[in-house]
Amino acid sequence: MTDLLLSTDAIETYLDATRDARLESYKAFLRIPSVSGIPAHAGDCRAAAEWLADAMRTAGLEHAEVSETSGHPVVYADWLHAEGAPTVIVYSHYDVQPVDPLDLWTSPPFEPVVVGNRMLARGAADDKGQVHLHVMAAAAVLATRGAFPVNLKYVFEGEEESSSVHLDGWLEANRDRLAADVAIISDSGFFDGNLPAITIGLRGMMYSQIDVVGTDVDLHSGQFGGAVQNPVNALAQIIAVLKGPDGRIRVPGFYDDVQTLTDADRADLAALPFDEDVYRTELGLPALVGEAGFTTLERRGARPTLDVNGIWGGFQGEGAKTIIPAHAHAKVSCRLVSAQDPARIFESFKAYVADVAPPGVTVTVQDLGGGFPSLTPTDHPATQAAARALEATFGRPPLYIREGGSIPVTASFETILGLPVVLLGFTPPDDHAHAPNESMDMDNYETGIRTVIRTWDELVAANAEPVRNW
Ligand SMILES: [Zn+2]
């Protein structure tokens, strides 16, 4: 313990002395527009991967590598000299969401600026900020102590924002070198009020596109209107029956693998400090809506959803143009919970769309990727180590939350590598991830570095019990 305290002082001195350089490095990383979902940004994704591998080498990590997949590369590095100590995989992702609508940003998304106490840029929170704080934590430990108390393997993905299409294959191909005791995933955030939190539940995802096609080209609505099906009208009819007025999803079998919330689950969620009125007011909405019979926290973390993410077709210019559009399209996604299987949900969804589609058009449904939901035990020694580290650095014990978002890789680490997963994330809840003006709270970022360092120490303390029992 004495050693730990002495070296913590050295780490603080180091972190103070390197604060400006750290900020500049964070900004440099954010300037690379690594939007994984847009093919034109493939070169930028690679540039971000190369930048990151260099930063990890500079931090003193070993075997830093830009590792190929059939898509954007994975960045790997490790440090494996803590004999007999646990081995931890650290996962975050260096890719980011697209930036549109660009006109809603108060400053250009890839020109990071600190406004107040916030770093404002696409990826500042999700998830480059968390990637960066892990690398800076590693640099601080190696510069001051020369060694970690645990073995570390870093896996930084480049396709999380586009359904992690190639990650499972990469994990399978690298199974041997990824042998570990636990995975720490930093791609989640704090609870409302910016309270420290560990996410124990994550929803899965089914993502699809509905394509409704009529004729080869748009038709004159005077000559043909009334005689042929209108693809946009047809798409609207399909979408209108995906959910009922009670908020229930009408796809047959959709709820078959959804576990009923226990009284204890409901009590845990009800105990979180959460005010529906404040939540609604902050969103600027006249009312909250959702599945009948469930609270807002239950709806947003523990129940499945179906949402149209985008819809297009027909004439969208100024003025009038009298056509029957040739085709119409919608992106539709479902957040999944419990044992819902994305592939099975997609098949049920596709069959239901075919069933409800009106005649006179060709309707197809594409699978755009998905991921399994997950739930982590709170009493796992690694969860408890992360909880102690959060309490020591942020000054209060973490809340355990169910997050509405999806991190498909969580289930991949569980099923492919057989690892327990701890979701230790630091972003503020009002970070505007995926939206204009995304930002990271710089206190969360700076304290997060200390939490990560402390977590490695706490894991060794937890390791007093044999690792194999994990
Ligand atoms: Zn993310």
Give the residue ranges of DSSP H helices in 70-173: 128-144, 167-173
Task: Answer yes or no: are the C-beta atoms of 249 and 337 closer than 8 Å.
Answer: no
- The pLDDT value recorded for residue 7 is 62
**Residue 9, pLDDT score:** 87
β partners of residue 197: 399
How far is the centre of ligand 1, averaged over its atoms, from the C-alpha of 156 (Å)? 11
Q: Can you tell me the distance from the alpha carbon of 189 to that of 201, in angstroms, rounded to the nearest whole number?
A: 12
Residue 468: per-residue pLDDT: 45
pLDDT of residue 402: 82
Query: Cα dist. 165→272, 273, 394 in Å?
Result: 34, 36, 35
Residue 326 is predicted with a pLDDT of 98
In which residue ranges of the chain is pLDDT below 70? 1-7, 463-470
pLDDT recorded at residue 438: 98
Q: How far is the CA of 93 from the centre of ligand 1 (A)?
A: 7
Write out the two tokens for 424.
């230790």
- Going from the C-alpha of 2 to that of each of 50, 51, 262, the distances in angstroms are 39, 37, 45
Amino acid at site 384? Q
Ligand 1 centroid–CA 355 distance in Å is 35
**Ligand 1 center–CA 398 separation, angstroms:** 20
| Whole-number Cα distances in Å, 154 to 53, 144, 183, 400, 423 | 10, 20, 10, 25, 15
For residue 249, give the DSSP letter.
B
Q: What is the pLDDT of residue 470?
A: 55
Alpha carbon 80 to chain centroid distance?
A: 28
Q: Are 98 and 35 in contact (CB under 8 A)?
A: yes
pTM beyond 0.85, yes or no: no
74/158 Cα distance (integer angstroms): 6
Calculate how far, in angstroms, residue 255's C-alpha sits from the geometric centre of ligand 1: 27
Give percent helix, percent strand, percent coil of the chain, each to the nearest 5: 40, 20, 40
The residues facing 327 across adjacent strands are: 213
What 3-state DSSP class applies to 62?
A: strand
Q: Which residues contact 262 (CB under 8 A, 6 or more apart)?
A: none
**245 Cα: distance to centroid of ligand 1 (angstroms):** 32
Q: Where are the extended beta strands (E) located within 20-139? A: 62-67, 74-79, 87-93, 113-115, 118-120
Q: Which pLDDT value is given to residue 375? A: 79
Q: Which element (helix H / strand E) includes 202?
A: strand 197-202
Which of 95, 126, 298, 431 is catalytic? The answer is: 95
DSSP for 368-429 reads EEEE--EE--TTSHHHHHHHHHHHHHHSSPPEEEEESS--HHHHHHHHTS---EEEE--B-T
Tokens coding 294 = 């469930």
Ligand 1 mean position to 146 CA, how many Å? 30
Residue with tokens 């009923």: 260
95 belongs to the catalytic site: yes
435/340 Cα distance (integer angstroms):
27
Is position 68 annotated as part of the catalytic site? Answer: no
Task: Find, among 260, 253, 264, the residue nearest to 293 by Cα.
Answer: 260
What is the CA(253)–ligand 1 centre distance, in A?
30
Cα(126) to centroid(ligand 1), Å: 5
Output the DSSP codes for 150-195.
SEEEEEEES-GGGTTTTHHHHHHHTTTTT--SEEEE---BPBTTTB
pLDDT at 171: 97
Cα separation, 319 vs 312, in Å, equals 17
Q: 236 alpha carbon to ligand 1 midpoint, in Å?
A: 31
- Sign, CA torsion 188/193/197/199: negative
**Per-residue pLDDT at 463:** 64
Residues 309, 69: Cα–Cα separation, whole Å: 28
Distance 157 CA to ligand 1 centre (A): 10
DSSP letter at 41 equals: G
Catalytic residue chosen out of the listed positions 160, 298, 441, 446: 160
**Residues 400, 404, 406, CA angle at the centre, nearest 5°?**
105
